[in-house]
Structure 1
């Protein structure tokens, strides 16, 4: 069974293990060999605009997902999303559970209109997950990041609140 809760400072060692997974750091902007101390610092210095959730599967922390609400006055309706799942737990519904909980929070509690993310163009599992939740590709960022010695492309994706009507943009 998957249990979703807010991350706590004493989760640092287990979160470090998630991001030490080779596919997890390769699929995010994290670097190999993260330290527990780095995660302790991140968890201690969390902004009120950040929500970091963890997925616990049979008592083991196996994934994280977070929202960072933009601070600028004209972008407070937007949050950036990031997530990582331990290599040995992909394909078990962990990402679905985390994303469902974060989007419920975004839609029903945080008054967010837009949730944005970037995902590597070759990350088929993540693209499938994000499409399932209504994210759309808005553009491709060429040579977005260095991964394993090569520059890789990423898609910029976003999802608008499902109850928000789309207003067409008209030329002037």
Structure 2
């Protein structure tokens, strides 16, 4: 088994569309059913535009894209520039094989060492125990519950708001 995490490119649009078409995947995200390659082509192209700071990664298991993740600024306001939003998806057949951990490690490393992030934020459906365990493994804590946060399969479901503060914030070294 060879696991490779790399930056996503527009050429990955077919793989993204396949992964996001799986009901077990989009059901736990804020994605919608029936994604198209064109939609993902546009999103992946836009993320690489000059001045964009988003980081989109994909995980390949034996050469096949089986996971994706994204790190995005939490917003435009100056006072929120220390916060970033994180999202992740893993194909059901690839779960519990280290894919989620590899993507989370890459996202946290990038945020901590290169993006100047103090705070990483995410939401997760309250019934997604495997994802919650993964996030806790990387230092995320539940900060609250958003009731009726998102429509999922015909009902409004709750999510946890989880966050992780930089475990060792950068400091200025003095002579």
TM-score bracket, shorter-length normalisation: over 0.9
Q: CA deviation at 1:164?
A: 3.7
**Equivalent residue number for residue 117 of structure 2:** 112
1:96 counterpart (94, 98, 101): 101
Q: CA deviation at 1:90?
A: 1.1
Cα distance in structure 1, aligned partners of 2:92 and 2:104 = 17
Three-state SS of the structure 1 residue aligned to 2:33 is coil
Unaligned runs of 5+ in 1: 166-172
Uncovered stretches (5+) of structure 2, i.e. residues with no partner: 171-175
**Alpha-carbon separation, structure 2, partners of 1:149 and 1:130:** 26
Distance 1:33 1:84 in 2: 16
2:36 aligns with 35
Distance in 1 between residues matched to 2:169 and 2:128, nearest whole Å: 29
Q: Paired residues, what number?
A: 165
Asked if the contact 1:22/1:87 (under 8 Å) is kept, the reply is no
TM value normalised by structure 2: 0.91
| Deviant stretches of 4+, over 4 Å | none
Which position in structure 1 is the counterpart of 2:11? 10
C-alpha separation between the residues in 2 aligned to 1:58 and 1:85?
15
The answer for the alignment partner of 1:150 in structure 2 is 155
Measure how far apart 1:91 and its partner are. Answer: 1.2
8 Å CA contact 1:49–1:71 kept in 2: the answer is no
